[in-house]
Amino acid sequence: MKRERLPLRPAAQYRELGVELVPGQRVVELGLERRSVELENGATIAWDCLCIATGSDARRLPALEDALYLRELPQAEQLRGLIERREPLDIIGAGFIGCEVAAVAVQKGCAVTVHEALEQPLLRVLGSELGGYLAGVHRTHGVDLRTSVASTPRPEGNLLVAVGSVPRTQSGLRLDGGIVVDEFGRTSAPDVYAAGDVTKHFSPLFETHIRVEHFQTAQRQGFAVGRAMAGGTEPYSEIPWFWSDQYDLNLQYAGAGLAWDETVIRGALGAPPFSVFYLRGGRPIAVAGVNDHHTVARARRLMGERKRVSAQQLADPSFDLRRALA
């Protein structure tokens, strides 16, 4: 993708909408009491209603400050350059970013080594069965995947650290792994809202606060928060959904990575298309599908509408999940 295609909107469109952009100026103080933010150049901007959408930073490892952390455009361009040159690459972390980069790099001819502290890739989100399947896929394609790594490796060559993100939180607000907001995006301070992956927002569907690091949720929740700031009364209540392309596999996931007590496999594990359902108390709270987007889409609707469906029905590929939606 070319640089000129990266902006969300052309600058002229902001002017047409009456939005004043102030790029290149960091906010150093929110001014919660006086209702006036202070910029790093000393200027102040008064506000009646404030929204914080500061996003996240890549989680850094103190012993590896000189490594590559994939978050901003220059870092992405640096990574693309070394992959195009087919340079060897070590990756710390077998999460979504680590696995996706490994898949691209090894297919481009790079020698790729992935170091993962847990027993399988994406273990906390996908569980041991699907995580173990992905591990086998990467190894089959030539990735040197090393799991259960007890200490931080220190490779001498190119090193990408991909161990999650840290929200860019603000002082003066309630925090708990992110800025805590309700289903409308309201923070603990009057007339102050927050949107995106900086937040830990309340989900009416899951009846708990969740933090999701994927852009689709940040975008959709951002729309809902904007409407709430303008006087809307509809809460943000959607099942998070995201995807990951690795080799010829399209992995789709709907859910919030919450703890489960049972898994149900639909189809044959390891023979796409198939899906894994994650249940708690007999009710599906998440689904992951490999080349099985129809199942994920229908399961997402099931969870969003809180429809009842048995584990036996979930496991049976011949059972049309649309019947449970009727």
Alpha helix positions (H), the chain: 11-16, 73-84, 96-107, 123-140, 215-229, 293-304, 311-315, 322-325
Q: Could you tell me which CATH class the domain 71-161 is placed in?
A: alpha beta
Predicted local confidence at residue 224, as pLDDT:
96
Q: Could you tell me which CATH class the domain 259-325 is placed in?
A: alpha beta
Predicted local confidence at residue 35, as pLDDT:
94
Predicted local confidence at residue 285, as pLDDT:
96
> How many Cα neighbours within 13 Å face the side chain of 95?
17
Q: Which residues make beta-bridge pairs with 289?
A: 252, 275
- Taking phi over 0 as left and psi of -120 to 50 as alpha, with beta for the rest, 41 belongs to alpha
Instruction: Tell me the pLDDT of the chain (326 aa) as tens digits.
Output: 677 777 778 888 988 989 988 888 899 999 999 999 999 999 999 999 999 999 999 999 998 999 999 988 999 999 999 999 999 999 999 999 999 999 999 999 999 999 999 999 999 999 999 999 999 999 999 999 999 998 888 888 899 999 999 999 877 899 999 999 999 999 999 999 999 999 999 999 999 999 999 888 999 999 999 999 999 999 999 999 999 999 999 999 999 999 999 999 999 999 999 999 999 999 999 999 999 999 999 999 999 999 989 999 999 999 999 998 87
Please tell me the pTM assigned to this model.
0.91
Q: Which residue's entry shows tokens 């190119």?
A: 158
Q: What is the pLDDT of residues 91-112, one digit of tens each?
A: 999 999 999 999 999 999 999 9
Helix axis angle, 96-107 to 123-140, nearest 10°: 10
Query: Which residue in 179, 182, 226 sits closest to 198, CA to CA?
Result: 179
Specify whether the CB–CB gap between 99 and 136 falls below 8 A: no
Q: What is the pLDDT of residues 246-264, one digit of tens each?
A: 999 999 999 999 999 999 9
Specify whether the CB–CB gap between 116 and 126 falls below 8 A: no
Cα separation, 9 vs 23, in Å, equals 14
Predicted local confidence at residue 211, as pLDDT:
95
Domain ranges of the chain: 1-47, 71-161, 259-325
Predicted local confidence at residue 111, as pLDDT:
97
Q: What is the DSSP letter of 62?
A: G
Cα separation, 190 vs 193, in Å, equals 8
**Cis ω for the linkage preceding 273 (within 30 of 0):** yes
Residues near 126 by beta carbon (within 8 Å), at least 6 away in sequence = 120, 134, 253, 276, 288
Radius of gyration of the chain (CA): 22
DSSP helix/strand/coil, 33: coil
CA dihedral (302, 296, 163, 199) positive or negative = negative
Exposure of 252 by Cβ count < 10 A (0-12 exposed, 13-18 middle, 19+ buried)?
A: buried
